[in-house]
């Protein structure tokens, strides 16, 4: 798991290195740190390609500056959304996303998707940790569920008892009233 400090260092470095790509609100890097080097390499490749291509702008059509709109994980895969660019940049992005598909999102080591919880690309080590956490969560959910049931019973059972007590008492009282009114004693 990443720390807030690690995230801040990475995000600030990216925004400082590639100010044109992160010129608009993009919602941050919503992926774990194992994929950060992939994103950093991708941004580096995109910006240097764009700058190099556009140096000779009188000879060729200009590559529109890429502006990142969102970076996130979806169904275990990396999603890099942006405006601008061209076909070559599209290919770079697809390559980076394919690379992430085979990299642990936690540490960047070779990984696969699957597991017991959410779909996530992880190496065997982080897969084992994630599955253990998932099972722990399952036990917690079961414990909370049983506690709620038990709590409910603790309230409902005495209520039923009280209800029966009041109900029978009322019936007896009515019976007595009827008895008195009929017999007068
Ligand atoms: Zn890992």
Question: Which residues crowd ion ligand 1, with CB under 5 Å?
Answer: 104, 106-107, 109, 123, 126
Helices (H), the chain: 4-17, 36-55, 87-101, 124-183
pLDDT at position 171 is 87
Residue 47 lies in a domain: yes
State the distance between the two ends of the chain, measured CA to CA, in whole angstroms: 82
Q: Note down the domain range covering 69.
A: 4-122
Residue 132 lies in a domain: no
Number of Cα atoms under 13 Å in the Cβ half of residue 67? 8
CA of 68 to the centre of ligand 1 (A): 26
CA of 94 to the centre of ligand 1 (A): 22
Residue 43's pLDDT band (cuts 50, 70, 90)? very high
Q: Looking at residues 120-146, what average pLDDT do you find?
A: 92
pLDDT at position 44 is 98
pLDDT at position 184 is 63
Pick from 145, 119, 143: which is nearest to 131 by CA? 119
Residue 137 lies in a domain: no
pLDDT > 90 fraction of the chain, expressed in percent and rounded: 65
Residue 41 lies in a domain: yes
Q: What is the mean pLDDT of the chain?
A: 92
According to DSSP, the β-strands at 77-83 and 67-74 are antiparallel
Residue 35 lies in a domain: yes
CA of 34 to the centre of ligand 1 (A): 7
CA of 105 to the centre of ligand 1 (A): 7
pLDDT at position 183 is 72
Q: Mean pLDDT check: name the lowest of 42-51, 70-79, 140-149.
A: 140-149
Residue 164 lies in a domain: no
Residue 32 lies in a domain: yes
Residue 185's pLDDT band (cuts 50, 70, 90)? low
Residue 33's pLDDT band (cuts 50, 70, 90)? very high
pLDDT at position 2 is 80
Question: pTM here?
Answer: 0.75
Residue 29 lies in a domain: yes
CA of 103 to the centre of ligand 1 (A): 8
Total domains in the chain come to 1
CA of 32 to the centre of ligand 1 (A): 10
State how far the alpha carbon of 175 is from the alpha carbons of 39, 54, 161, 162, 172, in Å: 83, 100, 21, 20, 5
């Amino acid at each position: 798991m990443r720390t807030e400090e690690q995230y801040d260092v990475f995000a600030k470095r990216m925004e400082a290195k590639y100010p044109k790509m992160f010129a608009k609100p993009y919602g941050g890097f919503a992926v774990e740190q194992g994929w950060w080097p992939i994103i950093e390499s991708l941004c580096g490749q995109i910006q240097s390609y764009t700058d190099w291509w556009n140096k000779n702008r009188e000879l060729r059509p200009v590559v529109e500056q890429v502006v990142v709109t969102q970076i996130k994980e979806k169904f275990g895969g990396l999603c890099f959304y942006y405006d601008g660019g061209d076909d070559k940049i599209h290919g770079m992005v697809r390559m980076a996303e394919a690379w992430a598909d085979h990299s642990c999102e936690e540490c960047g080591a070779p990984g696969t998707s699957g597991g017991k919880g959410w779909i996530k690309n992880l190496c065997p080590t982080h897969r084992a940790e994630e599955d253990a956490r998932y099972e722990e969560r399952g036990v917690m959910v079961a414990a909370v569920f049983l506690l709620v049931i038990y709590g409910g019973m603790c309230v409902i059972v005495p209520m039923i008892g009280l209800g029966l007590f009041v109900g029978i008492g009322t019936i007896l009282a009515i019976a007595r009233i009827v008895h008195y009114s009929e017999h007068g004693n």
